[in-house]
Amino acid sequence: MFESLSGKLGEVFERLRKRGALSESDVSEALREVRVALLEADVALPVVKAFIDGVKSKAVGQDVLRSVTPGQMVIKIVHDHLVEMLGGEAGAEDDSGINLNAVPPVPVLMVGLQGSGKTTSTAKIALRLMNKERKKVLMASLDVYRPAAQEQLKILGEQNNIPVLPVVAGQMPVDIARRALQAAKLGGYDVLMLDTAGRLHIDETLMLEVAAVRDAVQPHETLLVADSLTGQDAVNVAKSFNERVGVTGIVLTRVDGDGRGGAALSMRAVTGKPIKLIGVGEKVDAIEPFHPQRIAQRILGMGDIVSLVEKAAETIEKEEAERLAARVQKGMFDLNDMASQLKQLRKMGGMSGVMNLLPGVGKVKQQMAAANVDESVLKRQEAIIGSMTLDERKNPKVIHASRKKRIAAGSGTSVQDVNKLLKQHLQMADMMKRMSKLGQKGFMRSMGAMLPGMPGMPKLH
């Protein structure tokens, strides 16, 4: 979502880094470009003004202008202010999840406009609380207006084994909320997720209904679900809901889309309420905590190694990793091992998903785009390996012309694709053999030597 903003800020800071010394006019010119970049990213004007004023007061100080690396100092100041705008370092961990510090069942009220992703987000949060926090969660739909809204939540519950309050025909939202709270108490649930109705725009009827539900169940958390693709409208919606209903946090959806990022950068500043979670995909597990520090680093092209490590820990199966490590130490690496690595890479979001979290890879991404690197190549490679016999996977040397034709036909690819995969496997297998001979310390030195040589990758110290 922040790709366009990140690219523009990257160009500004690249020019600052190249200059040995900075004058006050250099800093002012750079900040003018930062201002334009933020406005183009749809950040609210008052937020941009406050941000630039705050950065400028520090960036034109004598400490920066006389610094050994003034360009880096300005970037650090921009980074610190960006973190502050997004929610601040201190609150990053506290505000990253749902506050359940209350007597169970803890009511969590989901509010927002129609189409913002409330129902899906309700299921996503419920599943996250069940899997990560080991909580017993009950979901209830209060949307009696939108056709099949209650059915949608029921289906999501069935698909993910999340209990859903049975629907009683003709019952109104406040009565459903009271019944849900009673059912949650009797059923010994830890959390009650209440999915309210939305409208296409803010209206008095909607606000009065949500306020009535709030008064009936006294929610511990009232989460506003906002679509990041709606830009400034999302900020106005957040302001309205906060003033009329009282919001404790924001869930930002479609962060994986091509929005300009302005909503995320403005919401905390405009409402004073933290963005707690962000939806990063359509799947029910595609939701993650919002960390201001990490988002700021991504925007400024510094990468997000912590998120990459966390994603790896969640997706990489420990037993499989240990099995592969043992084989690599023996210099063994067959096509089954390669298929396992392709599968893990896809689980982490493919090449682009991993590269988004790495520092200094903007140029590499541009090169990949220019070379038309197709993410679906991972699926094709898996299909090719899947079309091979067990013997062929263990011993690729037996794969000759007739077998290549059969494998290509079985995987819906070409013989050239099969040849490319076999060549790639051969190169990886050779590398694994060389590394196995180096021992553990030599292995790490070899990895360190390879990384700086990659275009756009940072030097290792």
| Residue that has been written with the tokens 């912590």 in this structure | 306
Distance of alpha carbon 81 from alpha carbon 430, whole angstroms: 47
Task: For residue 422, give the amino acid letter.
Answer: L
- Which pLDDT does position 359 carry in this prediction? 47
Task: For residue 136, give the amino acid letter.
Answer: K
Sheet holding 287-289, edge to edge: 137-141, 191-195, 106-111, 221-227, 249-253, 275-279, 287-289
With vertex at residue 342, the alpha carbon angle to CA 337 and CA 344, rounded to the nearest 5 degrees, is 95
In whole angstroms, how large is the CA radius of gyration of the chain? 26
User: How big is the chain, counted in residues?
Assistant: 461
- Which pLDDT does position 188 carry in this prediction? 93
Distance of alpha carbon 168 from alpha carbon 381, whole angstroms: 50
Indicate the angle between helix axes 204-217 and 232-244, nearest 10 degrees.
Answer: 50
DSSP one-letter string for 414-449: -HHHHHHHHHHHHHHHHHHHHHHHHHHHHHHHHHHH
Closest CA to 228 of 195, 299, 277, 170: 277
Distance of alpha carbon 385 from alpha carbon 402, whole angstroms: 16
Cβ contacts of residue 13 below 8 Å, gap of 6+? 30, 71, 74, 75, 78, 300, 301
Per-residue confidence of the chain (461 residues) as pLDDT tens digits?
Answer: 566 666 667 777 777 666 666 677 777 888 888 888 777 777 778 888 888 888 877 776 655 555 556 666 777 777 777 777 777 654 433 334 788 888 889 999 999 888 888 899 999 999 999 988 889 999 999 988 887 888 999 999 999 999 999 988 888 999 999 999 999 999 999 999 999 988 777 778 888 888 999 999 999 999 988 887 776 677 778 888 888 888 888 888 887 665 556 666 777 777 788 888 888 778 888 888 887 777 776 676 554 444 455 555 555 555 666 666 666 666 677 888 788 777 777 666 655 555 555 444 445 455 545 544 555 777 788 889 888 898 888 888 888 889 999 999 988 889 998 998 898 888 877 777 776 665 555 544 544 443 433 433 333 33
3 state DSSP class of 81? helix
CA distances from 454 to 110, 220, 255, 378, 381 (A): 46, 50, 29, 21, 23
CA distances from 98 to 77, 106, 129, 228, 274 (A): 30, 10, 9, 20, 11
328-355: burial string, b at 16+ Cβ within 10 Å, e else: beeeebbbebbbbebebbbebbbbebeb
Phi, psi torsion values for 191, nearest 5 degrees: -135, 140
Element spanning 278, H or E = strand 275-279
- Which pLDDT does position 164 carry in this prediction? 93
